[in-house]
Chains A and B, each alone.
Chain A
């Protein structure tokens, strides 16, 4: 009896010790945005599955670099020792993140990338330019033959991916002589500017527009609502991400498709990697990183195309993508 009690007590102590040894991971986006709603469950799932001491999601009160920097540094003081960060600026975030790495806390960048050189471990995200390129190709395909005019509604100009997405759309359009970009309207990834500018555009030029490509969460939602209100289904649209409004619009035929990014999987895997790096693993010298305009240490988390044919299985698409990446992640990218 004494033996069983001792064994049980020892197991409990070891389990507690193992838990205490886990990293205190902080997940910090550039600012409040619906895209990051999946980061919180991603961090909590990583905490549970990988025995982290914490997998806390903390949001700066505004999309402002100084606020994010202050928040990150205050978390270092609070004892967080590993970080998953969506950088507020691809260059401006580097000094602060380097400073954090200098304290011995690894930083993994997720959902967007930091420009090299920096001391962060690597970046795990969707290849934004390629995703925008493929989305635009899908849009052009859906519009059919003949001269077409498309409009591009894009996100914040300060967001690291926006310029890449603009380039991706331009590259796809450049491959089709009959298609032209009528207008690029950027810096509208919030309800007020998106409603105002998209409504004004649709009122003025809706009749001359054949297609809409959107590369920001809020513009996608607003444009999908505008097309539902219009009701004609004449204008084709390819959006981004998986807001319920957009998913429903795909089901109802108002939106052709959407390029997914899997923020849950990105945060989950990034938290896992940050913990492993804090526990003594290092990034492999010969890790098979892929090319990215901002960094040489890029891991493409994939950007599947959501359309009428697979819209019912969105969660399964994300889950499969996450599982596939995680299954080989450690042996592919880390030396442990």
Chain B
């Protein structure tokens, strides 16, 4: 009896140890630890880092960056990528601005239709990828220019500036003095994506198709359809990010994501890749992408506050991210040993 109890106790200890080890080894834990370290460092170097105002600003930046990261993550599932996320995001914002300012639609209908346009542009990407058999890098590199160029041609690079106050009111809304309301749409999309990949058949099929397309095809999955769906989702989520920027700026501006929407690319990749997404497809982590985008946002905000010099922020960001990846590797080796 004693022996049996001891055995069970031993088994329990091993289970708990394994569980803790698994958590410590997880990408999400590493990112969380790095975020904590970054917050501690910046709060000791910059007095205003933990002020209500800065936490509110940080929340807003995290909200947009995470949404941009999600728009890339849902395509990384397929082992592909979407270089046109920025162009689609701006197209959606401009469409929303046009529907409100020129067509006169109510803002909520304009938002819904604009997101449909984003999904449509994503569908074009997906259809071209599966139809041509070319890598999505080539296809989305081309459509990035086509979408952005088409938008500039149609709008003559003019901004839509007569947006209803509800956009800017929302972007300025905060709870408890420091939590930005912009986090709400991001959290909603995060939960929906989590449900998609964890609980729905379609989501699981997307992951399976991305991991082993040939095997998935042979087992009866409609891989091409699933890939198109991933691009549709990417377009819609990129559109949400574009609308969040519209809310922040109070206007739909062609240059809001830089030339061709390229300014989104770094942040679009960093969040999900730091979060543990497998670039060959088949595995993504919604929580990881959120934490990855949070780490990047904390680093860029903190560097600005400690006045590293605006021109050095990008370089420091890259360096610190490299350091973060190395530290993560060291942490894994340490835990494994």
* B258 (CB) vs chain A CBs: closest residue: A64
Tell me, yes or no, whether A123 is within 8 Å of chain B by CB: no
Tell me, yes or no, whether A60 is within 8 Å of chain B by CB: yes
- Binding-face segment, B131-139, B244-252, B321-329: B244-252
Q: Considering the chains assembled together, what is the distance between the CA atoms of A90 and B254 in angstroms?
A: 13
A-B contact pairs, 26 of them (CB 8 A): A61-B310, A61-B313, A62-B258, A62-B263, A66-B245, A69-B249, A70-B304, A74-B54, A74-B57, A74-B304, A77-B46, A77-B49, A77-B57, A89-B251, A90-B161, A91-B161, A92-B159, A92-B253, A94-B250, A95-B168, A95-B172, A95-B250, A157-B157, A158-B253, A158-B254, A158-B255
Q: Considering the chains assembled together, what is the distance between the CA atoms of A71 and B303 in angstroms?
A: 11
Q: Which residues of B line the A interface, CB within 8 A? A: 46, 48-49, 51, 53-54, 57, 61, 157, 159, 161, 168, 171-172, 245, 248-251, 253-256, 258, 263, 300-301, 304-305, 307, 310-311, 313-314
How far is the CB of A33 from the nearest CB of chain B, in Å? 14
Q: A64 contacts which chain B residues (CB < 8 A)? A: 255, 258, 263
> By the criterion CB–CB under 8 Å, are B248 and A77 in contact?
no
Tell me, yes or no, whether A101 is within 8 Å of chain B by CB: no
How far is the CB of A290 from the nearest CB of chain B, in Å? 23
Q: Considering the chains assembled together, what is the distance between the CA atoms of A158 and B90 in angstroms?
A: 15
Q: Considering the chains assembled together, what is the distance between the CA atoms of A67 and B245 in angstroms?
A: 12
> By the criterion CB–CB under 8 Å, are A77 and B53 in contact?
yes
Contact residue range for chain A?
20 to 34
Given contacts A71-B310, A91-B161, 17 further A-B contacts (CB under 8 A): A61-B314, A62-B258, A62-B263, A64-B255, A64-B263, A66-B256, A69-B248, A74-B57, A77-B51, A77-B54, A78-B307, A91-B250, A92-B249, A92-B256, A95-B171, A95-B248, A158-B157
Q: Which residues of A line the B interface, CB within 8 A? A: 58-62, 64-67, 69-71, 73-74, 76-79, 89-96, 99, 103, 115, 157-158, 187
How far is the CB of A234 from the nearest CB of chain B, in Å? 33
> By the criterion CB–CB under 8 Å, are A99 and B253 in contact?
no
> By the criterion CB–CB under 8 Å, are B57 and A65 in contact?
no
How far is the CB of B58 from the nearest CB of chain A, in Å? 10
- Number of residue pairs spanning A and B whose beta carbons lie under 8 angstroms apart: 87
> By the criterion CB–CB under 8 Å, are A70 and B61 in contact?
yes
Q: A65 contacts which chain B residues (CB < 8 A)? A: 249, 253, 255-256
> By the criterion CB–CB under 8 Å, are A115 and B161 in contact?
yes
Q: A91 contacts which chain B residues (CB < 8 A)? A: 159, 161, 249-251
How far is the CB of B300 from the nearest CB of chain A, in Å? 8
> By the criterion CB–CB under 8 Å, are B310 and A60 in contact?
yes
> By the criterion CB–CB under 8 Å, are B159 and A89 in contact?
yes
Q: A69 contacts which chain B residues (CB < 8 A)? A: 248-249
Q: A90 contacts which chain B residues (CB < 8 A)? A: 161
* A74 (CB) vs chain B CBs: closest residue: B304
Q: Considering the chains assembled together, what is the distance between the CA atoms of A170 and B304 in angstroms?
A: 42
Q: Considering the chains assembled together, what is the distance between the CA atoms of A61 and B255 in angstroms?
A: 15
> By the criterion CB–CB under 8 Å, are A77 and B245 in contact?
no
Q: Considering the chains assembled together, what is the distance between the CA atoms of A90 and B162 in angstroms?
A: 12
> By the criterion CB–CB under 8 Å, are B250 and A92 in contact?
yes
How far is the CB of B107 from the nearest CB of chain A, in Å? 16
How far is the CB of B48 from the nearest CB of chain A, in Å? 4
* A115 (CB) vs chain B CBs: closest residue: B161
Nearest 5 interchain pairs by C-beta: A77-B48, A91-B161, A92-B249, A74-B304, A91-B251
Question: Could you say which of A71, A90, A157, A187 has the most chain B C-beta atoms within 10 Å of its C-beta?
Answer: A157
Q: B263 contacts which chain A residues (CB < 8 A)? A: 62, 64, 66
Q: A70 contacts which chain B residues (CB < 8 A)? A: 61, 300-301, 304
How far is the CB of B269 from the nearest CB of chain A, in Å? 18
Q: A71 contacts which chain B residues (CB < 8 A)? A: 304, 310
* A103 (CB) vs chain B CBs: closest residue: B53
How far is the CB of B159 from the nearest CB of chain A, in Å? 7
Q: Considering the chains assembled together, what is the distance between the CA atoms of A193 and B46 in angstroms?
A: 40
* B312 (CB) vs chain A CBs: closest residue: A61
Q: Decide yes or no: A78 and B250 within 8 Å by CB, A64-B255, A66-B256, A91-B159 being known contacts.
A: no
